[in-house]
Amino acid sequence: MNDTRFESCIKCTVCTTTCPVSRVNPRYPGPKQAGPDGERLRLKDGALYDEALKYCINCKRCEVACPSDVKIGDIIQRARAQYGQQKPTLRDAILSHTDLMGTLSTPLCPPGQRRHRLKTGAPSTRRDAQHRSPAYAAEIWFRHLPPRLPPARRPSEAVQRTGGFLHGCYVNYNHPQLGKDLIRVVNALGTGVQLLSKEKCCGVPLIANGFFDKARKQAQSNVAAMRETRYRSLPPPRPAPLRYVMNTPSPRCR
């Protein structure tokens, strides 16, 4: 990203009004101050970096709301990667490695809690006891999809074209029905679906919790998997994977 991109900021503070962290955490300076305003200071002296930038959850709402198309979230995360001194903790590892936690939580989740949001893990992750974790599905969608929905792997002869499908962690572990419904709609439009053979988490939670190198590796792995499908990619059912993959350079992943 161009270092001068933040100069497009018009200081309207609309990003701060849409930030979910600024509403509840007074220690977080907000997207405008942490992003464009703070970047001007950091370019002069890296010692002016504020560790409070760690509270950014990389949700990208500020970028969606920005009328000047300033990549505020990218500015903040790049500053964290360049100047941040704090090492990721156990709490960060638990909340960011969605593939690992989803694989473990899905079979271990009690049947009575599968359709309800979980409250477990608050002490170990230092989270508010009233904050609930997302509900996990009774099964991992990707693992059971091929025998249940053959068109996803083997499109019929009536299918006119095929697209690669990046389903994402939310569909895989939390809301499988969303992915199944999307595939049915796409198939009804005459488009087959080819799943990625080695799909990984898009990397958004890894970036938010300080695992920048691993996020980069997983993004590159997903792009390589898209190339192997030899098809144009379908948009993921969730916005986070779409935005992250679109910002990963590749001539054939879009």
**How would you label 104-135 residue by residue, b for 16+ Cβ within 10 Å and e otherwise?**
ebbeebeeeeeeeebeeeeeebeeeeeeebeb
pLDDT tens sequence across 188-242: 888 788 787 788 888 888 988 989 999 889 888 888 888 877 766 666 666 555 5
Tell me what the mean pLDDT of segment 58-78 comes to.
92
The domain containing residue 156 runs over which residues?
A: 141-246
Does residue 158 share a domain with residue 71? no
Does residue 160 share a domain with residue 242? yes
Q: What percent of the chain has pLDDT over 70?
A: 69
| Residue carrying the six token digits 């019929």 | 156
Residue 94 lies in a domain: no
Q: With a cut of 70, say whether residue 66 has pLDDT above it.
A: yes
**Of 82-96, 141-155, 156-170, which range is least confident?**
141-155
Q: With a cut of 70, say whether residue 245 has pLDDT above it.
A: no
Per-residue pLDDT, 130: 57
pLDDT tens sequence across 131-151: 566 677 776 666 555 533 444
Residue 105 lies in a domain: no
Per-residue pLDDT, 155: 45
Residue 204 lies in a domain: yes
Q: What is the CATH number of the domain that holds 23?
A: 1.10.1060.10
Does residue 228 share a domain with residue 156? yes
Q: In what order do the strands lie in the sheet with 191-195?
A: 191-195, 161-165, 232-234
Residue 92 lies in a domain: no
Q: Report how far residue 245's alpha carbon sits from residue 222's, in angstroms, rounded to the nearest whole number.
A: 8
Does residue 172 share a domain with residue 242? yes
Overall number of domains in the chain: 2
Q: Three-state SS for 11?
A: coil
Residue 25 lies in a domain: yes
> Looking at 83, 102, 123, which one is the last position of a domain?
83
> Looking at 61, 83, 105, which one is the last position of a domain?
83
Residue 91 lies in a domain: no
Does residue 223 share a domain with residue 153? yes
Does residue 237 share a domain with residue 145? yes
Cα separations (Å) of 17 from 8, 73, 79, 119? 18, 15, 22, 29
Q: What percent of the chain has pLDDT over 90?
A: 26
Q: With a cut of 80, say whether residue 13 has pLDDT above it.
A: yes
Higher pLDDT, 75 or 189: 75
Residue 239 lies in a domain: yes
Tell me the pLDDT band of 15, cut-offs 50, 70 and 90: very high
List helix spans (H) across the chain: 14-18, 31-32, 38-44, 61-65, 72-83, 90-96, 98-108, 122-125, 141-148, 168-169, 176-188, 204-208, 212-229, 239-246
CA triplet 246, 80, 11: central angle to 5 degrees? 75
Tell me what the mean pLDDT of segment 104-109 comes to.
74
Residue 36 lies in a domain: yes
Per-residue pLDDT, 156: 47
Per-residue pLDDT, 38: 94
**Of 33-37, 68-72, 119-123, which range is least confident?**
119-123
- The most confident of 4-18, 97-111, 235-249, by mean pLDDT: 4-18
> Looking at 33, 66, 83, which one is the last position of a domain?
83
Tell me the pLDDT band of 55, cut-offs 50, 70 and 90: very high
Q: With a cut of 90, say whether residue 169 has pLDDT above it.
A: no
